[in-house]
Amino acid sequence: MPEMEKFLTKHIDVPGIDTLDVYRQYGGYEALAKALREYQPDQLIEEVKKSGLRGRGGAGFPTGMKWSFLAKNDKPRYLCCNCDESEPGTFKDRMLMEKIPHLLVEGVLITSYACRISTAFIYIRGELALAARQVERAVKEAYEAGLIGKNILGSDFSVDIIVHRGAGAYICGEESALMESLEGKRGYPRLKPPFPAAVGLYGGPTVINNCETLCTVPAIIRHGADYYASFGTEKSKGTRIFCLSGHVKKPGNYELPLGIPMRTLIYDEQYGGGVLGDKAVKAIIPGGSSTFFLGPDKLDTPLDYESIAAAGSMLGSGGVIVLNEDTCIVGAILRAVEFYRDESCGKCTPCREGTFWLTQILERLEHGEGKMKDIDLLTDICSNISGKSFCPLGDAATSLITSGVRLFREEFEYHVKHGHCMVSSQPALV
Ligand SMILES: Cc1cc2nc3c(=O)[nH]c(=O)nc-3n(C[C@H](O)[C@H](O)[C@H](O)COP(=O)(O)O)c2cc1C
Ligand code: SF4
């Protein structure tokens, strides 16, 4: 295996790569041409299965397998590309859309061909205005060049791509709420099953994949599944973009093979360059604010799905947030839980009421008005939200509290005893 390969970001800083001409000069749309020329749709699905690609939106579900679950009936099939990126600490899809939008268009086209889909939607988070403009422009250019529309590149494959802008609700990143929103309804999650592959958008079998997931597809077809799978680990193959933020010297997006140790991402000069102020790490949130804290004893954990799960958290959306020793854990958790309270869609009681209660208690603790029993009350409320809510947003709201109390209970107790934080105050990070 070569030491390093970048499948998504190799050409991202080439001037003009956001235009069709320059994208093509760097091999753009060759994977689409190869897919149409050399593969039957089902063979493409097998190739993506062989690559080991897993969804980059959060759950890490195997992509090829998801495609193969599409119900075989006479209803129209749809593709929804999830570009709603709103998970705190995650900013990779935005970069891909802003800088290399044709990569996404090419991924959507190959996926549509593989899954026999003739209408694809790209659902973009409302606030990402530049990303939306870039994708809209790329779609227009590709239509004009005959890469989208009827009989693409002279084949019998035809597809339309529709760019849709959300209105800025975190819940609309959840796949079933995304479909409701696309259908023009309020973005409430749907009951599952049925899963989107059986009954999805407008009742048709639907594939929903994350932006980065679909941006990876052209590289797999271009280089072959075996080459892609030669990067990463046994079960977490390929590369992914880690969004590094928090108390690091060089925050940013870094595409690296899965399995790279967290310490390398944070400390290596090429990536994070170390902790701000050369302080010690207090905690790491490895996969966006919906995942559990890890302590500094886990710094050598490889960043792959299995190792991070074994360490007690999740790789999630790839947002690695570093908190140094000066961080007030209670304040950081309060900041995150306020987000979930504000973004709770209100459909189910445990999440709607619970996130509100959690923030009230955390505010008490943060401002020196909390009682010792509040600490256990927090975890008790979490146990009544997690696993008992209608969709995973409820579970997500509790991750930092349960892991925070487990790892840093003395900080909560200090707030109660002394009425303030045990460390000098840092701005909350999440
Ligand atoms: C509250 C919530 C928000 C989500 N937000 C996003 C998002 O912004 N982007 C995304 O790709 N997936 C998001 N997901 C995950 C999607 O439901 C879905 O699993 C994903 O788009 C599937 O794509 P993948 O298999 O390529 O990862 C979210 C899930 C939940 C519960
Ligand atoms: S868990 Fe929260 S976001 Fe999900 S349906 Fe219930 S209220 Fe809405």
The predicted pLDDT at position 3 comes to 62
Rounded distance between C-alpha atoms, residue 300 and residue 270, angstroms: 17
Rounded distance between C-alpha atoms, residue 295 and residue 323, angstroms: 10
As a whole number, mean pLDDT of residues 94-111 equals 98
- Is residue 111 a contact partner of residue 80, using CB atoms and an 8 Å limit? no
The predicted pLDDT at position 200 comes to 98
Q: Which ligand lies nearest the alpha carbon of 175?
A: 1
Number of structural domains found in the chain = 3
Q: Answer yes or no: do 219 and 255 share one domain.
A: no
Burial of 388 (0-12, 13-18, 19+ CB in 10 A): middle
> Does some domain include residue 8?
no
Mean pLDDT computed over every residue of the chain: 96
pLDDT tens-digit series, residues 323-355: 999 999 999 999 999 999 999 999 999 999 999
Rounded distance between C-alpha atoms, residue 56 and residue 216, angstroms: 10
The predicted pLDDT at position 4 comes to 75
Ligand 1 atom index nearest CA of 178: 17
pLDDT of 2 higher than 90: no
pLDDT of 42 higher than 80: yes
- Is residue 85 a contact partner of residue 125, using CB atoms and an 8 Å limit? yes
| H or E element, residue 79 | strand 78-83
Whose CA is closest to atom 30 on ligand 1? 174
Its domain, for residue 244, covers 239-324
pLDDT of 7 higher than 90: yes
Domain boundary among 324, 341, 367: 324
Q: Answer yes or no: do 25 and 100 share one domain.
A: yes
pLDDT band at 417 (very low <50, low <70, confident <90, very high): very high
The predicted pLDDT at position 422 comes to 87
Rounded distance between C-alpha atoms, residue 429 and residue 173, angstroms: 22
Q: Answer yes or no: do 249 and 374 share one domain.
A: no
Q: Identity (one letter) of the amino acid at 386?
A: S
Mutate to test the pocket of ligand 2, among 86, 87, 170, 171 (most ligand atoms within 8 A of CB): 171
> Does some domain include residue 10?
no
119 C-alpha to ligand 1 centroid (Å): 20
Mutate to test the pocket of ligand 1, among 56, 68, 174, 201 (most ligand atoms within 8 A of CB): 174
Ligand 1 atom index nearest CA of 83: 9
**Three-class HEC string of 153-180:** HHCCCCEEEEEEECCCCHHHHCHHHHHH
Q: Answer yes or no: do 389 and 405 share one domain.
A: yes
> Does some domain include residue 9?
no
pLDDT band at 423 (very low <50, low <70, confident <90, very high): confident
Q: Answer yes or no: do 183 and 211 share one domain.
A: yes
pLDDT of 428 higher than 70: no
- Is residue 305 a contact partner of residue 259, using CB atoms and an 8 Å limit? no
Q: Is the CB of 61 within 6 Å of ligand 1?
A: yes
Rounded distance between C-alpha atoms, residue 238 and residue 234, angstroms: 10
Which CATH number covers residue 68? 3.40.50.11540
> Does some domain include residue 424?
no
Tokens of 387: 């696993």
Q: Name, in order, each residue with C-beta under 8 angstroms of 102's C-beta and a sequence gap of 6 or more.
A: 18, 20, 23, 28, 29, 138, 141, 142
Output the CA–CA distances (angstroms, integers) from residue 217 to 317, 341, 394, in the order listed: 18, 35, 31
Which CATH number covers residue 356? 1.20.1440.230
Q: Answer yes or no: do 306 and 396 share one domain.
A: no
pLDDT tens-digit series, residues 104-155: 999 999 999 999 999 999 999 999 999 999 999 999 999 999 999 999 999 9
Q: Identity (one letter) of the amino acid at 205?
A: P
Residue with tokens 């304040």: 331
pLDDT tens-digit series, residues 208-257: 999 999 999 999 999 999 999 999 999 999 999 999 999 999 999 999 99
Q: Answer yes or no: do 338 and 317 share one domain.
A: no
pLDDT of 430 higher than 50: no
Q: Answer yes or no: do 347 and 404 share one domain.
A: yes
Residue with tokens 């790329």: 138
> Does some domain include residue 55?
yes
The predicted pLDDT at position 429 comes to 46
Q: Answer yes or no: do 307 and 341 share one domain.
A: no
> Does some domain include residue 5?
no
Ligand 1 atom index nearest CA of 63: 25
Domain boundary among 198, 229, 260: 229
Nearest in space to 338 (alpha carbons), one of 353, 311, 314, 356? 356
240 C-alpha to ligand 1 centroid (Å): 16
pLDDT tens-digit series, residues 395-408: 999 999 999 999 99
Q: Answer yes or no: do 317 and 257 share one domain.
A: yes
As a whole number, mean pLDDT of residues 52-60 equals 96
As a whole number, mean pLDDT of residues 412-429 equals 77
Residue with tokens 């902790």: 275
Which CATH number covers residue 302? 3.10.20.600
The predicted pLDDT at position 65 comes to 98
Domain boundary among 279, 296, 324: 324
Q: How many other β-carbons are positioned within 10 Å of the β-carbon of residue 6?
A: 15
Percent share of the chain, pLDDT over 70: 98
Ligand 2 atom index nearest CA of 346: 7
Q: Is the CB of 387 within 6 Å of ligand 2?
A: no
Q: Which ligand lies nearest the alpha carbon of 341?
A: 2
> Does some domain include residue 12?
no
Q: Answer yes or no: do 113 and 190 share one domain.
A: yes
Q: Answer yes or no: do 126 and 25 share one domain.
A: yes
Q: Which ligand lies nearest the alpha carbon of 188?
A: 2
Q: Is the CB of 391 within 6 Å of ligand 2?
A: yes
> Does some domain include residue 207?
yes
Give me the helices (H) in 323-420, please.
329-343, 349-366, 372-385, 392-418
pLDDT of 95 higher than 80: yes
Secondary structure letter of residue 241 according to DSSP: E
